[in-house]
Each structure stands twice: as structure tokens, then as C-alpha cells.
Amino acid sequence: MPDYAMTAPLVELLGPVRRTHIVDIGANPIDGEPPYKSMLAAGLARLTGFEPQAEALARLEATKGPNESYLPHAIGDGSEAYLNLCAYSGWSSLLTPRQAALEVFSYFKPNAEVIGRIPVRTTRLDDLSVLPEIDMLKIDVQGAELAVFQNGREKLRSAVAVQTEISFIALYENQPGFGEIDIELRSQGFVPHCFKAVKFSPMAPYVRPESWTPAANQLLEADIVYVRDFVDPDAMTDEQLKHLCLLAQYCYGSIELCGRCIDLLCRRGALPQDALARYTALLEAARPSTTA
């Protein structure tokens, strides 16, 4: 039986044995609400967040809910490093801002100015023995994501979803590109699912968005979601499929992925044979009425 009261209809249908565990590396709340907010609010998930910037960590601690915990670790490859503190905290990184790129995308120069450097010992995700089983990883560490993935392969074996920031143009020195991250995540059994955000940027000399009428076409960054391979799902347990379904529904509204997970669970005998029809009925019941 589940270890908590499940009131959401989809959770009742799936019957997972525990709350979904989400890990947020670089949890500094600067980009709006996280995709998992509704799951936390409904008591359907628990969150472990990592944030090495003291002020950001203090804000997270001050506003955290009952199923949230935050730690000050700088997650990486386990080596000694420096945390480069930038004028805008969203630019702070274990990597150094790339001056050549800032000459082109000069709109970001003031934010990317390094105003301090703090020595840190990074911690490998795989070395965190106290960290419970991970279902979803959300990560935004300003260009240092690949090192986290490469040093977290064991912890990520249980994960069914990864939301990561990627860069099409290196904004930091020695920053891995989208292709390198894609190869690493695919090697761990993940496939791309959707983009949460795609960011474009004007280039010098037309450096400020309000100074130039045409929209900027240059791809800069994106937030992309990878999920455990649903085409060849035999490596996924029933519990993994259930948590993938919940994350797809509540974080991304991906009803087609939910349907795939439920269908697979029905084929395995892990859910009643009418489960997919019941899910469809839930969707129909939730549709806004089109009548006046």
C-alpha cells in the first residue's frame, strides 16, 4: 500500500508505493515556478534540492514546505573547484564566463561579471549515499551539467526523467555543448521528450531586444526534458513506469506519454485492463466545458 494519502485520481489509479522523489541541482529560484510545483503542493512528491550559493539557499530554506529539504553541496566530479559568483546569481557557475561569447551577446555582460570566487570541493552525485532513490532530476548548473551526469550514473539508474538546461553556444569556458549532453544521456537510457523553453538572443551590434524590431533568430539555450526510453521499456520496473506517468502528467501535461505508460502496465498485469479507459475518462472529466 502507498505510504501516504493519495487523493489525486491518477495516483489512485496507478497506486505507486511511495511519493515521487525529485532532485533539483541548482535550485536557485530565479526562473519562475519549477515544473514539479503542483506535485509538491498536492503532497505527491518530495524534493531534495542542492544550492551552494548561501543567499539562494537561505531563501529556499525560508519558504520550504513539509516535503522539501535543501543541501549546500556543489554537485560535480568530486574535485576542488571555484564557484564564480556573478553580478546576477543566475550566471554563477563552476565555469568561468566566456568573454568571447559575451562580446557577441553583450546584452549579458553586466550580469556575467564575476564579483567573487569561492573555493569549493564538489561532490559526486554517486557519492551521496544518504540520497534516496531518484525519480526525476532537474538540473541547471550553468554549463557544468555534463560532469554531474557522468558522475551520477549509478544514482540516475532509477531516474525516469531529467530536465536539463543545454547551450547551443558556449557561454562559459570549456562548456560542453548540446551534442555531448545528448550522447551522455542517451548512453544512460534516456531519450528526448520535449522542450520546456527555448531561448533566443540578439547579437551585437543589435544587442538589446527593445532596440531592434525583428525577432532574434539565434538559438542560445534551452530547457529540455529527457525520459527513460519508452520505445524499449523492458528495463523499466512497474514502479518506474508509474512515476514516469505521474511526472509526465503533472509536470509536463504529456498525456500521450501517460497513456503509453498505463498501456504498458496493463500489458504486464500491473494495472486493471480498464485502466487506460479510466484514464481517458479522467481526461474527459477534466476538460473545460465548451458550452455557454
Give the position of cell 559526486: 124
Residue 174 CA to residue 195 CA, distance in Å, equals 24
Q: Count CA atoms closer than 13 A to 162's CA, side-chain side.
A: 29
Beta-ladder partners of 227: 161, 191
Question: What is the per-residue pLDDT across 69-98, written as a single tens digit (0 to 9) for each?
Answer: 999 999 999 999 999 999 998 899 999 999
- Closest by CA to 88, choosing from 77, 97, 79, is 97
The rounded distance, in Å, linking the Cα atoms of 160 and 157 is 8
**210-223 b/e with 16+ CB inside 10 Å = b?**
eeeeeebeeebbbb
| Predicted confidence (pLDDT) at residue 290 exceeds the cutoff of 70 | no
Residue 292, pLDDT > 50, answer no
Mean pLDDT value of segment 231-259: 96
SS3 annotation, 206-254: CCCHHHCCCCCCCEEEEEEEEEECCCCHHHCCHHHHHHHHHHHHHHHCC
113 backbone dihedrals φ, ψ, rounded to 5° = -65, 125
Q: What gap in Å lies between CA 148 and CA 250, rounded to an integer?
A: 25
33 Cβ neighbours under 8 A, 6+ residues apart? none
For the chain, give the mean pLDDT: 91
Cell readout for 227 is: 525520459
Indicate whether 2 pLDDT > 60. no
Q: What is the β-pairing status of strands 161-167 and 219-228?
A: antiparallel
pLDDT score at 29: 77
Question: What is the per-residue pLDDT for 210?
Answer: 60
Q: Is the peptide bond before 176 cis (omega within 30 degrees of 0)?
A: no
Q: Taking residues 217-229, what's their average pLDDT?
A: 96
Fill in the DSSP letter of residue 67. T
Rg (CA), the chain: 20
Positive or negative: CA dihedral 47, 77, 181, 233: negative
| pLDDT tens-place string over residues 131-174 | 999 999 999 999 999 999 999 999 999 999 999 999 999 999 99
Cα dihedral sign, 118-60-163-240: positive
Residue 178: all three cell numbers together: 548540446
- DSSP bridge partners of 195: 224
Query: What torsion do the CA atoms of 121, 125, 128, 132 make, to the nearest 10 degrees?
Result: 150
- Record the pTM: 0.92
CA distance 231 to 248: 15
